[in-house]
Structure 1
């Protein structure tokens, strides 16, 4: 198994990254060993891997580009092509369940677009574009306009859920897999608290529940989710920060463990991973603890596919820190494994098994 690490590279981002780094993963210890650097890329800041594990796609933050790569048997990448996303600062991408389309959120343009994926794995030209619209939130800096930040498919593969940090809304679209079109769901959006700034979402693996990590107020929202209508019914809002923390912080990433027992969210400023237990009946959250990430600005983290390890990307200290996961408590313990890599901001597991 391999892990692919995206980063920031530009002076405008005060970045120190150098491209997409590929590492092999020791499944017993969690240790990473460097395999390849794909350099010469501008801000390869979010990554996605095809279901067949043979193609990798990335968006290039602060540009208008997305790129495709093939994955070889040894896990290495070969560049295929790039396409225009018809917007500025693509922040996230998701592959349709049938592998035929790539959905991309243009964070600074307020648009979500669809690019076809050709049989060769290359990206085709734009086939659809929708705008996320509504009244802007109250934050004078971060909410000057629509800012979609994430666009995963729901577990059914029929809906795309798009949190918009600028509008304090989470949008839901039906996806036409024949035409590659995004259509408003019967319940097209839910409003969050004003100034929350919804950033990313995570689906519970067994309950009809969606969780939203809210960047600007460092909270997590719990919603009952109707996969037919797209309705998101608010249930709970809970802080991702310890009560004793009095400084400034913003939330970034969110993930639910494979068993649906624990939820994790990262705090940039408090520099921690918040751990929540999940009620098995309702999906409601209880704050358990916040584990320091041993670095600054944990923009991203990822659980290993087997759930044994968590990898935390500390963007401003140029490290990936490995933690072991206690399956009984969800607790995180540093393994002592640390990788130095410039401005890491995304990680995905995939490629041929080793």
Structure 2
């Protein structure tokens, strides 16, 4: 019998509330053509407020969401043939405005950062994929940065697991630090392991890691810079190696950094710039790990809050939050981006994840 590969689906979260100028309507599901990169809409799941960041488990059977300006996380069952989602359960995250979520190395715990109340929660995952209550919150503390409006609290913005599955890293936009945490599975809590200080007012926002080397890359939101760090894989400590602008030198307007990805070949770092409204491509020096700008491409929509590669890394998709669109680019063999006709109209897109 001929083996038929499972179809590829994209799940798009959005902002829905007036406070966020949201024009989204919940989570939308699309079937993805692997050859052309085209999206075909297959489901709208409404009744959710600001499902602004999503995650899919390792075998593609469960979807999880956190909700901007709210206090909960949700779990969903994914029907593998159609890609449709159905609700499973919800749990409080113990804080206000949870902005990101990530699995631990075993897939048995979900870490969440509460941006508005400076705390981290660990939600155990039951055998059926539903979320169990957190046991104890981790409070994140530090000295606040100089920006009186944007750095009013620690503003924990991201909580990805590193490539070795040992440390969660939390860029703190409000305190100009990046903090490494290890999971204490017995107590079901995150424990600080190390912290690295950024420039005052830089506002570290998101972080990603080299696929093989002990390197990490951080996009700094407020000063639109990109920092390369050496990672100590034993202690979790980060040592800065280089900081460069994320926008071209000739750009003099206002812009803020948003998303960052390292390609799986370890050759390029990609960032999004809100204001310049671009994706920047930076080549990684194979010996030093430092970065050199290679390309900026326009996002053809305002406020590119998020972008993601498809699983094959043949396409890169940009979520233009205020442009009400997702725009696709083809990824060349050298990592440079070229335009396509891929345009998906969707209200206030905030996150894109792919499931097989």
Partner residue, 1:280: 286
- Distance in structure 2 (CA, Å) of the matches to 1:40 and 1:95: 25
Q: Is 1:345 aligned to 2:353, yes or no?
A: no
Deviations 1:238-289 (A, max 9, x none): 1000111110000100001110111100000000001100011221000112
How far does residue 310 in structure 1 lie from its aligned partner after superposition?
0.4
* TM-score (structure 2 length as normaliser): 0.96
Q: Is 1:190 aligned to 2:196, yes or no?
A: yes
Q: Is 1:239 aligned to 2:245, yes or no?
A: yes
Partner residue, 2:214: 208
- Distance in structure 2 (CA, Å) of the matches to 1:72 and 1:290: 38
Q: Is 1:157 aligned to 2:162, yes or no?
A: no
Partner residue, 2:144: 136
How far does residue 176 in structure 1 lie from its aligned partner after superposition?
2.4
User: Which residue, 314, 328, 337 being the options, matches 1:332?
Assistant: 337
Partner residue, 1:310: 316
User: Which residue, 260, 265, 276 being the options, matches 1:254?
Assistant: 260
How far does residue 180 in structure 1 lie from its aligned partner after superposition?
2.4
- Distance in structure 1 (CA, Å) of the matches to 2:232 and 2:9: 35
Q: Is 1:266 aligned to 2:275, yes or no?
A: no
- Distance in structure 1 (CA, Å) of the matches to 2:159 and 2:330: 29
Partner residue, 2:102: 94
Cα distance change on mapping 1:350 and 1:178 into 2, 3 Å? farther
Query: Do 1:240 and 1:274's aligned partners in 2 also have CA atoms closer than 8 Å?
Result: yes
- Distance in structure 1 (CA, Å) of the matches to 2:135 and 2:355: 27
Partner residue, 2:226: 220
How far does residue 128 in structure 1 lie from its aligned partner after superposition?
2.9
Partner residue, 2:5: none
Partner residue, 1:66: 73
Count of residues in correspondence between the two structures: 348
Query: Do 1:137 and 1:194's aligned partners in 2 also have CA atoms closer than 8 Å?
Result: yes
Query: Do 1:115 and 1:128's aligned partners in 2 also have CA atoms closer than 8 Å?
Result: no
Moved over 6 A (4+): none
User: Which residue, 20, 25, 40 being the options, matches 2:27?
Assistant: 20
Partner residue, 2:3: none
Flag structure 1 segments of 5+ consecutive residues without an equivalent. none
How far does residue 178 in structure 1 lie from its aligned partner after superposition?
4.3
2:137 counterpart SS class: strand
How far does residue 7 in structure 1 lie from its aligned partner after superposition?
0.5
Query: Do 1:136 and 1:166's aligned partners in 2 also have CA atoms closer than 8 Å?
Result: yes
Query: Do 2:228 and 2:240's aligned partners in 1 also have CA atoms closer than 8 Å?
Result: yes
Query: Do 1:321 and 1:337's aligned partners in 2 also have CA atoms closer than 8 Å?
Result: yes
Query: Do 2:138 and 2:189's aligned partners in 1 also have CA atoms closer than 8 Å?
Result: no
Flag structure 2 segments of 5+ consecutive residues without an equivalent. 1-7
